[in-house]
Amino acid sequence: MCGIAGWINWREDLSEQTEILKKMTDSIIHRGPDADGYFMSNKAALGHRRLIVIDPDGGRQPMLYQKNSYTIALTYNGELYNYQELRKELEEKGHIFSTASDTEVLLHSYLEWQEDCLNRLNGIFAFGIWDEEKDQLLLGRDHLGVKPLFYTQVGDSIIFGSEIKVLLSHPQVEAKVNAEGLAEIFALGPMRTPGNGVFKNIKEVRAGHYITFNSAGSKNQRYWQLESKLHDDDVKQTEEKIRSLLKDTVHKQLVSDVPLVSMLSGGLDSSGLTALAGTEYKKEGKTLHTYSIDFVNNDKDFEEDFLRRDLDEPWVKKVAEYVGTDHHSIVFGADKLIENLLVPMRARDLPGVGELETSLYLLFTEMKKEATVDLSGESADEVFSGYPWFHQEKFLDADVFPWLLNLGYLTNILSPEMKQKIQPEEYRRRRFQEALDEVPFLEGETGMQRKQRQMSYMFITRFLPFMLDRKDRASMMTGFEVRVPFCDYRLVEYLWNVPYEVKSIDNIEKGILRRAFAGILPDDVRNRRKSAYPSTKDQAYLNGISNLMLHVLDDPESPILPLIDGAEVRLAAEGKNEHITGTAARGLLDYLLQINAWLKEYHIVIE
């Protein structure tokens, strides 16, 4: 897992632009603290920061291949879980390998199949390939968008990188945000429209897509998408298929030349993966290490709501003992969360969800002390339709993204000028309609089946990218790789066509997954109702961020002031806004503090 950077120009000589490329690459040193590498030529400059996971000696990048008098150069971030199978196939076709890395397998896959190589990859990846013979740049991204990849075109230059900060490190790229970018922040925030980089002229390669660039222009191609068809397997066959896919996926994702651990919340998803991984480790005579997060006084401050029904720690201990892991419970207080509040924003180059990201970053920081790779249960709720929204008419019938129905207060605190500028309600409806137009409905589906397929599509293509962004930036900020087995595209493809009534069999969310884990987890763990990622309920945290917000409001130089209704926000910070209290107040203040710091630290020019 690494960080990549690149600059292509068909008219200027880039061979002497090492200083600029190094600045771009160094901006993401956190993604690859172990090594760096550069490739310079007349038209191309590629950079790489490496986090060593597989083949420490052989996986150096950018990796080059000489074809006649031409060079093909690859800079790549990710892991190919089927690289050993691909290598065998390529060797049978006559390819000769000099390393044991998946990087070389990706390079030779391109040599053999060109852009079609993407259809053969199973993994999480983002890469750039400069092909001198074709005078072409290829940018490719994995099926679900686990690994990030941004780009911009400035004049004759194509500039790309793993994070937005790579692009902003180039002297030709300006930190400008127009009305559309502001609408992304205030109307959709912190979710984004796929492909939209918020900053003016900055885009991202969409999940399941690749883009080719040459001197004549560019071509954006989709190589993978969800396809709707009848699900012919009965319940037992579905259960067995899911179990088989998960076992194979976890087996493949345990390959690592550095220490690997697992996140464990005591919930169904992480517990199931931990059990599968722990079984594999036991076969090799090893003990899996697991990690969970908790907060000071959480047992006293805990508040039950529709997404969090009970405390994690009792369940964590039960699963750790059952699987036989060496468990580590990491506990944070409000002071630590406030101290690191802005780190995730700097990692994402965009405002995020505050404390929920901060605690994740702090957890990964602790995990990094003992390991480099982690398994996470992220995305199970999206692909198994596990959220309460999937069966509640209020959300199924909404004409906006369901997660925005409870975020109306974000629009209410905007200044009149901002509301006029970005038209938040209209922007939400337009983006929702764009997503709706993409849904591959199945002919003959009933009204409810259509609604649930629609909901599933929204979560996989609009909500899940945010969750994956959050995990990638929080982990890679510490030079730590997170693998997400539930994002294996084979599993996602299969589940896409499993009817909701099968997914929720036994009248419980993710019922089919619970059945698939029978005999793998204790029954009470399998039947524990969903409990979302934990957050602190310590009043000290709300007091702390409220005071920070009041300081922002009192500072006439605060860049966020022209964008918001200061009086409304002040009431929320003082605990006097009857419409914004508790969790909503924490979320709002977290977000506004990040927006203010983002505008200031990134020297953003608003157009």
First to last CA, the chain: 36
C-alpha–C-alpha distance, residues 193 and 455, integer Å: 16
Task: Count the neighbouring beta carbons within 10 Å of the beta carbon of residue 107.
Answer: 26
DSSP 156-203: TEEEEESSHHHHHTSTT---EE-HHHHHIIIIITT---TTB-SSTTEE
C-alpha–C-alpha distance, residues 390 and 379, integer Å: 15
**Burial class (CB within 10 angstroms; exposed 0-12, middle 13-18, buried 19+) of 74:** buried
Which residues are registered as beta bridge partners of 45?
7, 40
DSSP 190-215: T---TTB-SSTTEEEPPTTEEEEEET
Q: Are 90 and 108 in contact (CB under 8 A)?
A: yes
**Residue 551: in which H helix or E strand, if any?**
helix 539-554
Q: Are 312 and 267 in contact (CB under 8 A)?
A: yes
C-alpha–C-alpha distance, residues 143 and 125, integer Å: 9
C-alpha–C-alpha distance, residues 444 and 498, integer Å: 15
Catalytic-labelled residue, pool 1, 2, 188, 502: 2
Q: Are 513 and 268 in contact (CB under 8 A)?
A: yes
The size of the chain, in residues, is 607
Which residues are registered as beta bridge partners of 75?
128
Q: Are 332 and 293 in contact (CB under 8 A)?
A: yes
Omega before residue 56 within 30° of 0, cis: no
Nearest to 471 by CA among 389, 326, 363, 383: 363
Active site residue 2: yes
Can you tell me which residue has the tokens 């049978």? 92
Report which DSSP code applies to 274.
H
Give the CA distances from residue 309 to residues 400, 505, 530, 531, in Å, rounded to whole numbers and listed in that order: 27, 20, 7, 6
Which residues are registered as beta bridge partners of 481?
373
Give the residue numbers annotated as catalytic, written as ranges: 2
